[in-house]
Structure 1
Amino acid sequence: MKIIENKKVFFAISLVIIIVGLSLAAIRGFNYGIDFTGGTVIQIEMDEYIPTEEIREIVDGYDSSATINHIGNQREIIQIRTTESFNNETRVSLYNEFKEKYNLDDADRLSSGQYGPQIGAEIRNKAVISIIIATIGMLLYITFRFQFSYGISAIVALIHDVLIVLAVYSIFRIPVNSPFVAAMLTVVGYSINDTIVVFDRIRENLKTAKRSAFAETAELSIKQTIRRSLNTSFTTILAITALYILGVDSIKEFTLPLIAGILTGTYSSIFIASPVWVLIKSKKGNI
């Protein structure tokens, strides 16, 4: 399959996902976690490790979107984080269900309280600023090392990756919280990697190609680097998927956007960045 020749198909696929995801986000909003919405945190000391699935049998009756973490050397302390701001009566009712089922004492409720969303707004603003600064820095660096057309194409692919991940979170109602912000910043740095590899091969192939053979050169370069890109992403996905399957909720919250971002970054480096570069070069010439 010729990637450059069928670029409109790949552009359309990405555009549909982005439009659907962001439209749903505009209509119903993102599923923000406690760090953005505020909520309740309760810590309970158990006599032994209790599986998350068993804990959810109680917690889901109060908030099905709550996250559950295991803390301590034996993971016997459970931390329940809900997006609902429970009053004291509700918190006591929730704990009493654990107390009755597991024969706990009042002292086993280590802490409980409500938290506001102020930290979420601060993290969100700093994350946006960080992404903007990183994007400008990447544009300047790639322009310096390659050409301005490469820099613009890479940034388009980068923005594409961010929007696709946001769309996925919107469509599947995945909670957006602090680990998501950290993962998104990681994705921004990672997704540019494969794109640079392809662009470096394009630059090398242009030395022996015809002056206006941009599409042919890009197609050849993609074919020469696609195996490397897929293998690198596959090995990374294996490690992150293992963390997601075996990790606790807090680890899963961090690894899930990484998985989505790496898959999207691999896709954009092959099917978005290079075709965009061909479009720019074909219209503007040597920039």
Structure 2
Amino acid sequence: MKRNLDIVGKKKIFFAISSLIVVFTVVFALIFGVKMDIQFTGGSIITYSFDGELDESAFAKELSAALDAQLKTQLSENTVTKKDNIIVTLGAKKNVKADKVEAALQTLQEKFPDNNIQQESINSVSASMGSEFFIKCIAAVAVGAILMILYIAFRFRKIGGWSAGVMSVVALMHDVFVIFAVFVLCRIPLNDSFIAVVLTILGYSINATIVIYDRIRENSRIHRSMSVAERVNLSINQTMTRTVNTTITTVTAMVIVCIIALIYGVDSIFTFAFPMIIGMISGLYSSVCISGPLWVTWQEHKAKKKAAEKLAPKAKKK
């Protein structure tokens, strides 16, 4: 016999947990700030290759003096050439001229003659381009959310599609906030990986939610005597195994990606895969514990409002 979990009955607990996550993340972000990559703020990234052992702090000091700019350095390895790299990041406030970069390279080669330092690449993004890119990314998320509401409103119009769509997107915003929390708490700079994770999780999470809504629609036809809360709770339990198994499968795959990224030191992949894992778990949680119960809360509120409106004329007559 399958166990019938009372998900809807414990909705206040789930709402409280989600609210605490949001509040904690906001407070943490206000106190410690949010790191933004140069893709959003603008700036320059210069990649140098080198041989042997390199004193990173001495390298950073010499380059900072040569470019007359504050900078950050990070050691990495080119997985294709197997050469050691040092990645230099400069903020948006400093314009790096080509002649200055060339002069800085000559200085580095003179100061570190045994390391065979070579400039591999330089990428620059203006502050205005970074802001424009950030706005476009937010717009992409907003458009995606609106299209999801329209789709759910049409597909589930027989059970109050508009409210189902809106509650689904509210739950999806919970997932977006959880992903944001991962980047903020782990001090990962917000970059294009953040937007990629958000858009991926939006599609992943809404798919699980639609499966539950589809079951609610069927149960609304089969179990007419049940209350809205009972039908939603039954639907969640009927789809629970499918939802959990799908999440376990995808999370396992992403865990393997994370492990490989850590072994080979590929930070760009790790900063995508790790938030994806948390986002998938959040997607499971929001689909099961937030979306359906939120919709029930809205439907019960509508029912109470209609009942109050019917009683109002009777009260006036008395």
TM-score by length of 1: 0.82
Q: Identify the residue that residue 78 of structure 1 maps to in structure 2.
A: 85
- 2:8 maps to a residue whose letter is I
Structural mapping, 1:76-225, within 5 Å? 76=83, 78=85, 80-82=87-89, 84=91, 99=112, 103-106=114-117, 108-111=118-121, 115-146=125-156, 147-211=161-225, 213-225=227-239
The amino acid of 2:32's aligned partner reads R
Structure 1: how far apart are the matches of 2:141 and 2:192?
A: 15
8 A contact 1:127–1:185 mirrored in 2: no
Partner deviation per Cα, 1:202-245 (whole Å, 9 max, x = no partner):
11112122355111111111111112111111111111122222
What do the CA deviations read for 1:157-184 (whole angstroms, capped 9, x no partner)?
1111112221332233222112212221
More divergent stretch after superposition (18-27 vs 262-271): 18-27
Residue 16 of structure 2 corresponds to 12
CA gap 1:97/1:135 in 2 versus in 1, 3 angstroms: farther
Structure with the larger RCO, 1 or 2 (CA within 8 Å, 6+ apart): 1
Q: CA deviation at 1:127?
A: 0.9
Partner of 1:21, secondary structure, is helix
Which whole-Å CA distance do the structure 1 matches of 2:253 and 2:71 have between them? 28
Greater Cα shift, 274-283 or 168-177: 168-177
- Call closer, same or farther: CA 1:215–1:43 in 2, change over 3 Å: same
1:11: Cα distance to partner? 0.3
When residues 72 and 159 of structure 1 are mapped into structure 2, their CA distance, relative to the original with a 3 A threshold, is: closer
Match of 2:276 in 1: 258
Instruction: Specify the SS of the correspondent of 1:41.
Output: strand
Amino acid at match of 1:154: S
CA contact 2:171–2:286 (8 Å) conserved in 1: yes
- 1:27-85 residue CA offsets vs partner (Å, 9 max, x unmatched): 432111232234442322345xx8xxx88x82699599755554363332625143557
Q: For residue 283 of structure 1, what is the amino acid of its counterpart? A: H
State the shift of 1:111 in Å. Answer: 4.4
> What's the offset of the Cα at 1:95?
5.1
Q: SS where residue 222 of structure 2 aligns? A: coil
For 1:105-163, what per-residue CA distance to the aligned partner results, in whole angstroms no more than 9, with x for missing partners?
Answer: 35x23345765434331221111111111111110110100022221221111111112
Listed as ranges, the gaps of 5+ residues in structure 1 are: none
2:120 counterpart SS class: strand
Q: Distance in 1 between matches of 2:131 and 2:196?
A: 14
- What is the aligned residue count? 278
Partner of 1:274: 292
Distance 1:233 1:104 in 2: 47
Partner-residue secondary structure (3-state), 1:73: coil
Q: C-alpha root-mean-square deviation of aligned residues, in Å?
A: 3.4
Give 2:308's aligned residue.
Answer: none
Give CA deviations for 1:4-42 in whole Å, capped at 9, x if unaligned. 111001100010111111232234321112322344423
**Structure 1: distance between partners of 2:123 and 2:11:** 53
TM-score under structure 2 normalisation?
Answer: 0.75
Contact 1:39/1:81 (8 A) holds in 2: no
Segments of structure 2 that go 5 or more residues without pairing to the other structure are 61-69, 304-318
